[in-house]
Amino acid sequence: MNGVEALGRRAALLEEGARRAQARALRRYVLVYLGLVPFLFIAVFPVFWMAITAFKTDADLVNPRVFPFWFHQHPTLGHFTYLFQHTYYGDWIVNTMLIAACVSLVTLLLGVPGGYALARLGLPGAENMGIAIFLGYLIPPILLFIPLSRVVALTHLIDTRWALVLVYPTFTVPYCTWLLSGFFKTVPPEIEEAALVDGCGRVGALVRTVLPVSLAGILTAVIFAFTLTMQDFLYSLVYVSVSDQKPVPLGVATDLIRGDVYFWGSLMAGALLVGVPVAILYSFFLDQFISGITSAAVK
Amino acid sequence: MADAELAVGRRVGVRHRAFTRERLVFGYSLLVPAILYMALLVGVPFFFSLYLALSDASVGNQVAQYVGLRNFIAIFQDSTVRLALRNTIVFTVIAGIFKIVLGTLMAFLLVQEIPGKKFIRSLVVLPWTLPVAISALAWKWMFDPQFSAINYVATRLHLIHGWPNWLGEPGLAPAAVIAVNVWRGFPFAAIVLMAGMSAVPPELLDAAKVDGATFFLRYQHIVIPLIAPILFVGLLFDTVFTLSDISIVYLLTMGGPENFTEILPTRAFEIGIQAGALGRGAAIALVLFPILVPVVYFLLRNLRRREAL
Amino acid sequence: MAQQAKDGCGRRLTRRQFLTAAGAGAAGAAALKLAPWEAGAAPAQIRGTSLRILTWSHFVPAYDTAFDKYAADWGQKNGVTVRVDHIPIDQLPARIASELAAGAGHDIFQMNGQIQTTLYYKNMVDVSDICDRLGKQGGGWIPMAKNVAVVGGHWYALPEFYIPQPVLWRTDLFKEYGLKVPSTWDDLRAAAKVGKPKSHAAGMAISHCNDANHNWRAVFYAFGVKEADPTGKEPAWDSKELREAMRWSKALWSEGMTSEVFSWDNVSDNRYLDSGVAIWIHDAISAIRSIQDSNPTLYNNVNIAIDGLEPRGPAGRFAVVDPTILGIWKFSKNQAAAKAFLEEYGGDVKFSLVESKGYNMPYLKKWYTKPMPSLGDDPKVKLLQDWDKVAYVFGYPGPATAAASEVLSTFVLPDMLARYCRGEDLESAIKWGMGQIKSIYAKYKS
C-alpha cells in the first residue's frame, strides 16, 4: 500500500467513524425526544388550553358542542386589551416583578450568609439552628397569617406591596438557605483556604472564591424565590386590599371574578402574560448552571 | 531548647484559639440575620398560634382563655377532621411518588444535549411558573361537568366511557386534586434534580466512563449520592409544602364532594376563619405538627451526619 | 376595578393621584360654600380626616363603580378622604379576621353571606342610634334585619341590603311542555321531571358552595324544618319534617336533576341556565343579567320568581336570602366619619336599588311601596317588590348565630343531602348530619 492509498484509507475510516457517531447521536436525540413527548403533553396541554381561551370569544368558550382546543369563532385580542384598559393589570405586573425582585434580594441577603455559615463554619448548635429555620415551614400559612397580621400592622405596611416583601421571605428563606448550604458544601474547601492564605480575609474569601463557583446555586435560589413569590395567594389576600398594590395572582382572581361571572379570557391572558416570561427566564438560567459552570471551580 | 518549643507551642495555641473564636464570631454573625428574621416573623407568630390552639379563641376574641388540650380532643372527635387527616396524608404520599418518578425521568431527559433544549425546558416548566390561583381555575374549567375539555377529547379518543364528573364523584375528585398537584409539582422536582446534577463534577463522570462504568452504574454510584442531599431537601420541602397548601383543593372542590377531598388546611380554614372558631382551627392546622417536627428534625440531622462523613 | 377612580379626562388614577385630588377637592370645597347636607349635620371634626371602606366585589360591576363614586362624592362634600377597596365575597372572612388581629385596616367593613356579628360584636361600634333613626325614617326594619345585626338588644352593624335568590324558569319550555305557571315546590319538581329526559333538567347545587346552602334551606324551611329554637341556642333540625324534606329533595334530584350538581360551585347553575339547558334554577338574578345583552332571546324566555314569589311547601313560602351588613371597627380612628357615612348611605336606599338594577333589596319597610325604584319599571323583576314578605336568613327561626354560621360554613346540609342522594340510608345520613350539628352547637354553649 503506498502513502496516498494509506491516507485515503484513513480518511475513509474517519469519515465512517464520524457518520457512525452522527447516527448514534441522532438515535439518542430521537430517543430523548420520544421520551419527552409524554411529559411535554402533560405539562403543556392545559397551558395550551389556557392560551386558546385567552384568545377565544366568550360565546365560543361556553359552547359545549365544539372542540374546546381550537377556535370556532374568530380569535380576539379583546381579553388582553380588557386587561390593560379596564383593570389595574399594568400595576399588578409592576408590583409582582418588584416584589419578586426584592424578595429574591432579601432571600439572598439572608440565605447566602446563613447557608454558608451552616455549610462551612462548623458552628456548634448551627445544625439545630439550621433545622429550626426549616421548621418554619411546618406551620401552615392559613394559621400563621393571623398572628403575622399584627407584626405586619406594626410596620404600617398593610395594604401596600411592601407588606408582601416583608412576609414572603418567610417561605423563601428556609428552603433557599438549605439549598445554598447544599451548594456551598460541594465547593472544595481548598480554593477557599488558598484565598485565605493569600491574605483575603474571611469575607473576601467568601466573595471571591465561593460565590462565583456557587452561581448555579444562587441562581437556583433566586428562581425559586421568584416562583414562590408568584404562587402566593393567601398572604396577598389578607395584607393587600388596595387594587393598585396587588400582585398579579391576587389582582386577577379578585377583579376578574365577580362571584358568578368569571372573565375566563382575561384570566387566562393575565396568567400567561406573567407565567410565560418567567418560564422563558427559567430555561435560560437552567442552561447557565448546567453547561459547565463548575468547570470554573477547578483551576 | 525546651523553652523555645514551649514558647512556640503556646503562641500557636493562642493563635489557634483566636482563629477559632474569630471563626465563630464570623459564623454566627452570618447566621444571625436569617435567624432573627425567622424568629420575628415565624417564631413569634408560631408561638402565638400554639397558644391559639390551646385556647378558646375566636376571630372576634383572639386572646381568650387557656383551655389546655380541649380543642385537640374536640377535633379528633370530629369525623370530618379524621377524614381530612387521612386525605392529607394519602394525597401527599401519592402525589409525592408521582412527582419524584416523573421529575426524575424528566430531569434525565432534560440534561441531555439536544437541539431545542432551551425551548423544551421553558415549555415543561410552565406548570410550575404559572400562578397556582389561575392554573387551578383553568383545571376546574377543564373538569367542569358540562364543558370539560378533558372529557370531550377523551370520549372521542375512546379513552373513557360516559362523561365522568371529575370533581363531583367521591372516587374521582381525589384523583383530580392529586393530578393537579402532580402537574404543578413535577417540573419543580425536575429542576431540583437538574440543578443538583450540575453540581456533579464532570471529571468524576468522565473518569468513571473511562473506567468502563455504564450509564446506570455511573448514575447510581456517583450522581445519586452526590445529589442526594439536594434532592432530599427538595423532596422534604415539597412534601411539607403540599401538606400545608390550601389553594388547589380550595379552588377545585372546596373540600367536596361530601368531604372526600377535605384536607387539614381546608378544614382548618373552614372552622378557624369562616366559622370563626380560631382555637379549634389552629388545633386542626397543627395536628400534624407533633409528628412532623421530630421527623423533620431527625431526618435533617441524619442528613448532616451523613454529609459530615 | 379601574373605573372606580378616574380623573376628569377619564384616565385611571393611581391611588396617590386619587388621594391628592380628593384632598384638593376638600380644601377647595372648604373655600367655597359647601352644599347643604340633608340627612343631618356632619360633625365638623371629621373634616380633613380619611375613611377606608372594605366591601365585596359586587356581582353587578356597575354598582361598585357607582358606590365608589358615591363614597367619593360624600367625602368631598364633608372634607373626608374616602377610599373603597373591593375583594371577592368568599375572602371577606379571612380579611376581616386578619384586620382584627392586626388592629388595623379599614374603618367600615362589610359582612356578606357569612354573617359573623355574634363573633365580632365586641369589637364593633354600637350603632343603635343610627339604626333607630333610620328605622323610624324608613317605616321600620323588616324582622330579618335584627337577626343579622342585633346582639343583646344593640345594633352592631347597619344592614345594607340582601340578595334574593328566586326561581329562574324558562317560560318557553314550560309552555312547550304544557306546564302551568309554577307556584309550589311540587310544581317545580314536576317540571324538572318532564324536562330531564328532554335534556332540560333543573339544577340546584348539592355541594360545598354557598348556593347549595341557601337553595336547600329554602326547600327545607318550606317543609317546616327549623334550624334552631328562636333564641338560637338549641339545634332543632331533627324532626319529622326533616325526614319529609330529605325524602322529597332526593326525589327531586333523582327525577329532575343530574349528578353534575354534586360538583357545582356558585357559578355552575348560572352556566347551566345561560347555556340553554336548565328548565329552572334557583339563584340570584345575576344569572340572567349577564345574558341580558349577549343572548336576548334566552333572556326573554326566563322569568324571575313565580306565582306567589317563592315556591310553597307544606309549611309555607320561605326565601332564604344572602344578607350584607356594614360594621365599624372599634379600633377605627375615625368612628365619627364612619357613622356619618353609614347614616347617609343607609338612608339612601334609592341609590342602592337603582344602581344595582334591582339586585340590592332593602331592609326598610317604607321602600317596599310600589312602584319601587328600578324594580317597579322592569316587568321582569317586578315580583321582587314583595320579597320582604318571604325573606328569611339562615339560622331560622333563631338569629344568625355563630353556631348556625358554622353549620353553614361547613356545608352540613348539602353533605347530608348528598349522602342520602347517593344511596346512604336516610336515618344514617341524618344521624351523621345531626352529629355534626349537635357537636357544633355544643361547642358554643360554653
What pLDDT digit, counting tens, does each position of A220-259 carry?
788 888 888 888 888 888 888 888 899 988 888 888 887 6
More confident residue, B305 or A148: A148
What mean pLDDT do residues A184-198 have? Answer: 77
Whether residue C200 has pLDDT greater than 80? yes
Closest approach of A156 to chain C, Cα-based (Å): 9
Question: Which residues from chain B sit within 8 angstroms of residue C100, using beta carbons?
Answer: 59-60, 62
| B278 and B152 in a common domain | yes
> Which residues does A193 contact at the CB level (< 8 Å), separation at least 6?
none
Q: Do A143 and B297 touch (CB under 8 A)?
A: no
Q: Do B46 and A136 touch (CB under 8 A)?
A: yes
Q: Do C86 and A244 touch (CB under 8 A)?
A: no
Chain B residue nearest residue C405, CA to CA: B275
Whether residue A8 has pLDDT greater than 60? yes
For residue B267, the Cα-to-chain-centroid distance in whole angstroms is: 19
First to last CA, chain A: 47
Quote the number of domains for chain B. Answer: 2
More confident residue, A223 or A169: A169
Question: How many whole angstroms separate alpha carbon B36 and alpha carbon A15?
Answer: 65
Q: Do A243 and C85 touch (CB under 8 A)?
A: yes
Whether residue C305 has pLDDT greater than 80? yes
| B72 and B179 in a common domain | yes
What mean pLDDT do residues B125-149 have? Answer: 83
Interface test with B, best of C120, C208, C267 (most B CBs within 10 A): C208
Closest approach of B167 to chain C, Cα-based (Å): 5
What letters, b where the CB count within 10 A reaches 16 and e where it falls short, cover B112-143? eebeebeebbbbbbbbbbbbbbbbbbbbbbbb
Question: How many whole angstroms separate alpha carbon C164 and alpha carbon A287?
Answer: 57
Closest approach of C332 to chain B, Cα-based (Å): 15
Whether residue C3 has pLDDT greater than 50? no
Cβ count within 10 A of residue C11: 11
Helix residue spans in C46-127 (DSSP H): 61-78, 92-102, 117-120
Question: How many whole angstroms separate alpha carbon C407 and alpha carbon C395?
Answer: 9
Candidates C234, C243, C245, C163; CA nearest to C401 is C234
pLDDT tens for each residue of C30-84: 333 333 333 344 566 788 899 999 999 888 888 999 999 999 999 999 999 999 9
Q: Are strands C302-304 and C316-317 parallel, antiparallel or unpaired?
A: unpaired
pLDDT tens for each residue of C388-435: 899 999 999 988 898 999 999 889 999 999 999 999 999 999 999 999
CA-angle at A229, arms to B134 and A284, nearest 5°: 90
Q: Do C101 and B60 touch (CB under 8 A)?
A: no
Report helix angle B172-198 to A215-231, nearest 10: 160
Let me know: does C406 contact B276? Beta carbons within 8 Å.
yes
What mean pLDDT do residues C206-214 have? Answer: 91
- Max Cα-Cα span within chain A: 92
What is the domain extent for residue B11? Answer: 1-29
Closest approach of B284 to chain C, Cα-based (Å): 14
CATH of the domain at C228: 3.40.190.10
> Which residues does B74 contact at the CB level (< 8 Å), separation at least 6?
B280, B283, C439, C443
Q: Do A140 and B285 touch (CB under 8 A)?
A: yes
Whether residue A188 has pLDDT greater than 90? no
More confident residue, A259 or B193: B193
pLDDT at position C40, please? Answer: 43
Question: How many whole angstroms separate alpha carbon C125 and alpha carbon C155?
Answer: 9
Candidates C168, C362, C127; CA nearest to C270 is C168
| C174 and C38 in a common domain | no
| C51 and C9 in a common domain | yes
Is A62 in the B-facing interface, judged by CB distances under 8 Å? yes
| C338 and C292 in a common domain | no
Quote the number of domains for chain C. Answer: 2
More confident residue, A218 or C217: C217
Closest approach of A3 to chain B, Cα-based (Å): 33
pLDDT at position C392, please? Answer: 93
Is B188 in the C-facing interface, judged by CB distances under 8 Å? no
Question: Which residues from chain C sit within 8 angstroms of residue A150, using beta carbons?
Answer: 101-103
Cβ count within 10 A of residue C386: 15
| Residue with the three cell numbers 353556631 | C403
pLDDT at position A30, please? Answer: 84
Fold annotation for A81-297: MetI-like fold (1.10.3720)
What mean pLDDT do residues A64-73 have? Answer: 70
Whether residue C1 has pLDDT greater than 50? no
Establish if B218 belongs to a structural domain.
yes
Cβ count within 10 A of residue A295: 11
Establish if C248 belongs to a structural domain.
yes
Is B192 in the C-facing interface, judged by CB distances under 8 Å? no
Whether residue C199 has pLDDT greater than 80? yes
Q: Are strands C167-170 and C302-304 parallel, antiparallel or unpaired?
A: antiparallel
Which of A72-81, A131-140, C259-268 is modeled with the greatest confidence?
Answer: C259-268
| B201 and B156 in a common domain | yes
Query: Is A261 in a helix, a strand, or coil?
Result: strand
- Residue C4: pLDDT band (50, 70, 90) is very low
Question: How many whole angstroms separate alpha carbon B232 and alpha carbon B236?
Answer: 6
Q: Are strands C158-163 and C322-328 parallel, antiparallel or unpaired?
A: antiparallel
Chain A residue nearest residue B120, CA to CA: A40
Chain B: list its partners (3+ Cβ pairs within 8 Å).
A, C
What mean pLDDT do residues A96-105 have? Answer: 93
Using a pLDDT cut of 70, give the percent of chain B over it. Answer: 88
Using a pLDDT cut of 70, give the percent of chain C over it. Answer: 90
Q: C423: burial class by Cβ within 10 Å (0-12, 13-18, 19+)?
A: exposed
Whether residue A1 has pLDDT greater than 70? no
Let me know: does C86 contact C56? Beta carbons within 8 Å.
yes
Question: How many whole angstroms separate alpha carbon C303 and alpha carbon B37?
Answer: 59
Closest approach of C329 to chain B, Cα-based (Å): 11
Q: What is the pTM of this model?
A: 0.82
pLDDT at position C10, please? Answer: 39
pLDDT at position B296, please? Answer: 81
End residue of a domain, out of C331, C360, C379 = C379
pLDDT tens for each residue of C313-348: 999 999 999 999 999 999 999 999 999 999 999 999
Interface test with B, best of A95, A142, A187, A250 (most B CBs within 10 A): A142
Q: Do A245 and C104 touch (CB under 8 A)?
A: no
pLDDT at position C96, please? Answer: 93
Is C62 in the A-facing interface, judged by CB distances under 8 Å? no
What mean pLDDT do residues C129-150 have? Answer: 93
Question: Which residues from chain C sit within 8 angstroms of residue A257, using beta carbons?
Answer: 57, 88
Is C61 in the A-facing interface, judged by CB distances under 8 Å? yes
| B145 and B9 in a common domain | no
CATH of the domain at B130: 1.10.3720.10
| B143 and B6 in a common domain | no
pLDDT at position A227, please? Answer: 83
